Structure 1
C-alpha cells in the first residue's frame, strides 16, 4: 500500500512540473498554431538565468525565501525578453505560411539558442542547491519528499487556474478566445491580433522559463537540458490535444503517473513507458483526448 501512495505522490509531483512547462507550449499552439521547438531552449534559458541571479545571492548569505522570488523574477525577465525578440524579430515574418515552415523555423531557433547558451555560460554545469534543501522534507511512511516539490505543485496550480480564469472571466481573455476561434474574423472586427500574438508568445516563453528556473535548484544546470524537456512536453500536449489547457493537465497527470509507476515497478522501462502511452492514445484519438471538434468542410 505504501508503494501505491509513493506512486501517486511521485506522479503528481512529476505531473505538476511537466504541466508548468507544457502549459506555455499548448498556449502558444492554441493561439498562434505554432508547434514551438524552441520551447526547450526557453526552459534551459530560465534555468541558467535563475542560477545566475541567485548564485551570488546565496553565496553572500542572502535570505533564501527571497531566492524563490529571484528565481521567478529571472525567468520573467529572461523569458519575456527573448520571447519578444523571437516573435517580433523572426516568427511574425512567417505567419500564414505552411505549418512545417514554422516548425523548421522554431527548430532553427532551438539550435541557435542552444549554442548561444553555451557561448554565454560555457559548458560547465552550474549548481545552487540551497533553495531546494532549505524547506526541509515531508515524510510519507518510509519515504521522505522535499517540500520544495510541493512549491512546484503550488506554482503549477496557480498558473493553470490563473490562466483558465483569465480566459473565462476577463475581457482580454474573451478577446483572446475569439482570436483562437477565428483570427481572420477577429481582425475584421477590429481586434489587434498581432498584439495578442506577441503577448501570448511572451507568456508561453515566460512559463517555460519559470519551469526551468524552479527546476534549477534540483539539478545540475548544463547544456542540453532543454532537449529532454521538449520531448516530454510534446508527449504531454499530443496526448491531451494540441491547444487544450485541460488536455495539457490531463496529459501531464497521465504521463506523471505512468512514469512513477514505471520507476517503482519497471525501472528499465521508465522512458519507454511514456511513449507506449502516447502511441496507445494516438491510436484511438489521433488528435489527442481533449482535441477540440473541428468544423466539417464541405
Structure 2
C-alpha cells in the first residue's frame, strides 16, 4: 500500500533528524537526551581524564628525550676518555707515535664537544687532566699534551656562564692601555669595571716592563690579553683570546675564563695555566717563566 502524505512527512523528518545528529549534531543530541546538567558533568569528567592522559604522555615523552640526550652526551664524552686511555696504554707499551696520535684525536673530540656546548660534570675535566699529566710523564712530547690540555681548557671555558651586564655600563677600549694608565685607573679600584674591546685584535693592557701590576674586579669582553706581568684578582675574561709566553711572571686569583680561546706555547710553563682553566679553579696560581 502506498504511503500517504502524513507518513512521508514523518519519514523525511526522521531522516533530517538523523543527519543533524552526525558530527556536532550528535553532540547536541547527546545534551538533549541527557539533559543540560548531566551532560555538563560528563563533559567535565571527559576533559579532566583526557587532559591528565595528555599531560602524562608529554611528561613521559620529555623524560625519555632527556634520557636519550644524556646518553648521547655521555657517549660523546666517552670518546675522549677512550682516546686518552688508549694513549696511556700505547705510551706504556713504548708506542709513543701512536700515543701522540690518540692524544690528537682526543683534542679533536674535545673541540667538537666545545663547539656543541655539550654539558660535562667537573669530574670529567678532573679525570682528563690527570690522564694528560700521566701521559706527560711517560715521554710524550709537550706539543701533543698541551694541545689536549688547551682543548680541555677551551671546552670548560665554553661551558661557563657569562655574566650579564647592560651595554651602558661598558667602557670601550680601542688601544692598549699603558702601564701608567693601568696603575692609575685600575690597581686600587674597589668597584667593578666592564671593559669591551672595540674589535677582536685589541689588547686591553700593554705588558708591563717593570714590576708586576695588580688589577682587580674587571670584566674583559672580547679582544685579547697577554697575562704576563700582571696579578689578576677577581677578574673575568669573556670571549677573550688569552696568551702567556712566559716573558714575565704572572699570577691568577679567582680568575674566570668564559668562552675564551688560548694561544700559548708548548713549553712546560704554559701547562699550569691550561690546567687552571680546564678545572675552572677558583683559587690562586703563580705562573713562572
TM-score, scaled to structure 2: 0.25
TM-score, scaled to structure 1: 0.24
Structure with greater contact order relative to length (CA < 8 Å, sep ≥ 6)? 1
Choose between structure 1 and 2: higher strand proportion. 2
Looking at CA atoms only, which structure, 1 or 2, has the larger radius of gyration? 2
Choose between structure 1 and 2: higher helix proportion. 1
